Amino acid sequence: MQISQGVEEKKIVIKGLEANYKMAGKGLPFLILHGWGGSSDSWVFVQNQISKQGFQVIVPDFPGFGKSPAPKTPWNVDSYVNWLNDFIIEINKTRGELAKPFSLLGHSFGGRIAIKFAVKYSEKIQSLILCSSAGIKSKAGLQQEIFYYLARMGDYLFSQKPFRRLKNRARNIFYKVIRRKDYLKASGVMKETIKNILRENLLDYLPKVRNRTLILWGKLDKMVPVKYAYVMKDKIPNSQLIILPKVGHSPQLDIPEKLSQILTKFLKP
């Protein structure tokens, strides 16, 4: 299905689970992984721009996001890494787009997957881009426990009849206070999945990344503060860092033209 000029939407079945993905262009393979709560939709403009520069750009919807159904049981980071490898294998069976080393970009939650994938399957990657990447766990373990407790209490309280009409308003206030929108917006199996995701700290994986790496970060990022960009730059060998002024957590939406130019320059051999 044609989504926009040059971008097609396709389906593929991976071990019984249907997956949606978008594809554009021909040439050097470039795979983009979206963030939590996002989908391939948010990358269409950038995907289209880069595809015009001699790249075949593929952006899947992770299971549980966009038009890809959720897994039947809660997943963790490794589950998504394994799914990504299966996605690549299935794509190559029919198309072969990712048969040779490809460039990989991970945004936010997608960065977690990209980091572990790069460590496990380094030979499959030409270069790595971490954009406002999650993965480094804060030291506030108690704060995390308090957050989960408050979330559970909030769900119970605002499910009671006298408070139901206040539920959405109260949740919006809670979002601003704790800055953890992803957890409360998740439901069912995905709520358990994000709890699994947040428990894991990928700090020890960073020195194991051997691919040429570009780290991109919005200076005004409030979801994943810019301080983590400097940690990643320090820990990942053969990496370079670009801080984007006046940009928040989603440069693909804030500055899509500029981001496309930066990515194309880095990706060009």
Give the pLDDT mean for 14-23: 95
In this structure, are strands 17-24 and 55-60 parallel, antiparallel, or unpaired? antiparallel
pLDDT of the residue at 166: 55
* 8 A C-beta contact, residue 47 and residue 7: yes
- Looking at the chain, the whole-number percentage of residues with pLDDT higher than 90 is 70
Strand partners, 217: 243
- Going through 55-184 in order, the beta strands assigned E by DSSP cover 55-60, 102-107, 125-131
Q: Is pLDDT at 237 greater than 80 in this prediction?
A: yes
Instruction: Please give the model's pTM, rounded to 2 decimal places.
Output: 0.84
Mean pLDDT check: name the lowest of 160-174, 187-201, 209-223.
160-174
User: Measured between alpha carbons, how far is 72 from 230 in angstroms, rounded to an integer?
Assistant: 37
Question: What average pLDDT score do residues 235-252 get?
Answer: 96
Of the two residues 104 and 198, the one the predictor is more confident about is 104
Average pLDDT on 34-48 reads 95
pLDDT tens digits for 172-192? Answer: 555 444 445 565 556 689 988
Instruction: Give the pLDDT of residue 146.
Output: 47
Sequence-distant (6+) residues with CB within 8 A of 208 are: 119
Q: Would you state the pLDDT for residue 144?
A: 54
Mean pLDDT to the nearest integer, 120-124: 96
Distance CA 59, CA 30 (A): 9
Query: Which of 142-151, 160-169, 192-201, 215-224 is predicted with the least confidence, judged by mean pLDDT?
Result: 142-151
| Domains of the chain by start residue, with CATH | 2-137+201-267 (3.40.50.1820), 141-193 (no CATH)
List strand residue ranges (DSSP E) for the chain, in order.
2-4, 7-14, 17-24, 28-33, 55-60, 102-107, 125-131, 212-218, 239-244
Please say if the pLDDT value at position 151 is more than 60: no
Per-residue pLDDT at 142: 45
H helix intervals, 54-206 = 77-94, 109-120, 141-157, 167-178, 181-185, 189-199
For 60-84, write each residue's pLDDT tens digit: 999 999 999 999 999 999 999 999 9
Q: What is the mean pLDDT of residues 117-124?
A: 97
- Higher-confidence residue of 249 and 156: namely 249
Token pair 């069912």: residue = 188
- Would you give the DSSP letter of residue 163? G
| Comparison of pLDDT for 175 and 26, the residue scoring more | 26
Please tell me the predicted confidence (pLDDT) of residue 124: 95
Share of the chain above pLDDT 70, in %: 80
pLDDT surpassing 80 at residue 15: yes
